[in-house]
Amino acid sequence: MSSTERSEDPLKPAGAAGPASPARRRSAPLGGSEAHAVGSVGALFLGCIADDFTGATDLANNLVRAGMRVVQTIGVPSGPLGAEVDAVVVALKSRTVPPAQAVAESLAALAWLQAQGAQQIYFKYCSTFDSTARGNIGPVTEALMDALATGFTIATPAFPDNQRTVFKGYLFVGDVLLSESGMQNHPLTPMTDANLVRVLQSQTTRRVGLIDHRVVARGEAAVRERMAQLQAEGVGVAIVDAVSNDDLLRLGPALKDMPLVTAGSGVAIALPANFGITPSDQASRLPAAIGLQAVVSGSCSLATNRQVLDFMKQGHPALAIDPLRIASGADVAAEVLAWARPLLAQGPVLVYSTADSSDVKSVQGRLGVEEAGALVERTLAAVARGLVQLGVRQLVVAGGETSGACVQALGITQMQIGPQIDPGVPWCHALCELAPQEGLHLTLKSGNFGTDDFFSKAFTMLA
Ligand code: ADP
C-alpha cells in the first residue's frame, strides 16, 4: 500500500478532482461560429487519460453518443483548452512504454486536466486489458490514485457492444477467454491470463478485489455496499463484472463522485447521466463542412482493401502509390499532388498504398518491414499536408499508424468529436495550423473498421 494520504471513503471525493457538482446548465452546443470559442472555458465534467490514440477516439465517441461534448487532444496541451466542452480525452501513447514513463506522462495529463477544472478523472485502457508484464495499467492507476489522494477505484475493460465481457473477474473476447482469443500471441502485450484480478494484482501494490456479477445485477446500492466492504478489507482497486450494457448502466450511478474511474471505453456510456446529461444530437454538432474532399489510405487491412475498390467502382478518381518508386528516390508526394490538383474541384479523390498481402510481402522482402512502412507513412503524410494546402478541408485517413503520421504532419493537437460514421469512427473537427481560420474535418479510420462504402458514405454525412 502506498503511504500517501488518501480518503477512507471510496465515494467521498478527494483531491483536486473534487465532487461532481449538480448538473450545470448546458450552454449552447458547439457548432457553427460557436465552435472552439476561445476563452469560454467552463467546468469540465470528465477529464480522461487514454493510453493510445485510437482508444482515445473510441472513448470520445462513446461519450458523445451519451450526450457529452468532447474534445480529444493529441498529447498534453501546452496551454488552456479554449473550448467549452463536457469532457476532454487526452490521447497518450503510453501503453507499452516503460512504466516510469507511462506514469510521468499520465501525471502530466492529470495535472493539465485538473487545471481545466475536471471533476472526475477517467483512465482509459484497451478493452482487452493490454499490458506488459510490468504494466502499465497497474502503475498508472496507482500513481493517479496517489495524486488524487483517493483510496479506492474500479477497473473494468468490459465493453459488451464490442464483445468484451467480464464474468467472475475473467475477461471474455466474444465466446472465448482473453487468453484463448489470439491476444496470448500479441507481439507487444501478450495476454496469457484471463483472470483480471490476478493480472492487475501482479502490476500494483494496492490490493485488488472483485465486484462480481451478482452484486452488479442488484444495482447501485449493492455496488456501493460492496465497495465499502472491499475498502474496509484493504482493497484499493476492484475489478467489476459486466456482461451487458445494462450492467454498465447499473454500475454508472455507483461511480458518481468517485475521483478516479479506470476502464475501457464501455463504462463511458453510463457516466454522462451522473452529470445530468442525456443523449442529444447537439453533442456531436460540428461546424459546417466546407472545402475540397480527399481520402488518404495507408491501411492494407481487408476492410480497407474493399473500401478502396468500392470507392473506385463508384467512379471516383484514385491513384496508387508504389513503395519501390518511393525507395528509388522519386518525389512521389509531389507527383500525387500534381495529379490531384485538377481533379479535386470535381469531388473526392483517393490516394492509396493499399495492396494485397502478397504485394505487401514482396515489397517488405525488398525494403524490410519497418522501412517499407515508414516510407509509405512519410509519403502519405506529405500527401495529406499537400492536399490541405490545396484546399482540402474534409479528409478521411485510413490506417492507425497512417493516421498517427498524418495527424503529426498536419500539426493537429486538438479535435472536437462529432457524429459517428460507423462504430468506433466519428467525424472530428480539428484545429490545424494549415487551416488556422476554419480548421479541418477529419476522420481517422482503423484498418478493419467501416462498411465497404465507408469512403463515399463519410462525405455524404457532412453534406
Ligand atoms: P491498419 O490500421 O490497417 O493496421 P496502419 O496504417 O496502422 O493500418 O498500418 C499499415 C502499415 O502498412 C503502415 O505502416 C503503412 O505505411 C504500411 N503499408 C501500407 N501500404 C503498404 C504497401 N503497399 N507495402 C508495404 N507497406 C505498406
For CATH 3.40.50.10840, the residue range(s) in the chain are 22-280
pLDDT at res. 42: 60
Asked if 415 and 72 touch (Cβ cutoff 8 Å), the reply is yes
Q: Of 332, 376, 378, 425, which is best to mutate to test ligand 1, by the most ligand atoms within 8 angstroms of its C-beta?
A: 376
Q: In 184-314, which residue ranges form alpha helices assigned H by DSSP?
A: 196-201, 213-217, 220-232, 245-251, 302-313
Nearest C-alpha to atom 13 of ligand 1 is from which residue? Answer: 373
Q: What are phi and psi of 137, to 5 degrees?
A: -65, -45
All CATH 3.40.980.20 domain ranges of the chain, comma separated, are 285-462
231 CA distance to ligand 1 middle (Å): 47
Domain topology for 22-280: Rossmann fold (3.40.50)
Is any ligand 1 atom within 6 A of the Cβ of residue 363?
yes
How confident is the model at residue 424, as a pLDDT? 81
pTM of this structure: 0.83
| C-alpha cell at position 430 | 480539428
Sequential DSSP letters for 104-144: HHHHHHHHHHHHTT-SEEEEE--TT---BTTBSHHHHHHHH
Q: Which residue, by CA, sits nearest to atom 16 of ligand 1?
A: 373
- Nearest of 194, 157, 163 to residue 268 by alpha carbon: 157
Q: What is the per-residue burial (b if ≥16 Cβ within 10 Å, else e) of 76-85?
A: bbeeebebbb
Strands 414-422 vs 425-431: parallel, antiparallel or unpaired:
antiparallel
Q: Is 154 in the pocket of ligand 1 (CB under 6 A)?
A: no
Tens-level pLDDT at each residue, the chain (463 residues)? 333 333 333 333 333 333 333 333 333 333 333 333 333 346 799 999 999 888 899 899 999 999 999 999 999 999 998 888 999 999 998 988 899 999 999 999 999 999 999 999 999 999 889 998 889 999 999 999 999 999 999 999 999 988 899 999 999 999 999 999 888 887 778 899 999 999 999 999 999 999 999 999 999 999 999 999 999 999 999 999 999 999 999 999 999 999 999 999 999 999 999 999 999 999 999 999 999 999 999 998 888 999 999 999 999 999 999 999 999 999 999 999 999 999 999 999 999 998 888 888 999 999 998 899 999 999 999 999 999 999 999 999 999 889 989 999 999 999 999 999 988 899 999 989 899 999 999 999 888 789 999 999 999 999 8
**CA 348–ligand 1 middle distance (angstroms):** 22
> Is-contact 18 58, C-beta < 8 A?
no
Ligand 1 atom closest to 448 (CA): 3
Ligand 1: which atom is nearest the Cα of residue 376? 16
In DSSP terms, 413 is beta-bridged to: none
pLDDT at 342: 98
Classify domain 285-462 by CATH number: 3.40.980.20
What pLDDT score was predicted for residue 93? Answer: 86
Look at ligand 1, atom 20, and give the residue with the nearest C-alpha.
Answer: 353
Which atom of ligand 1 lies closest to the CA of 360?
24
Atom of ligand 1 at shortest range from CA of 377: 16
Judge if the beta carbon of residue 399 lies within 6 A of ligand 1: yes
Residue with grid cell 500471441, as numbered in its chain: 185
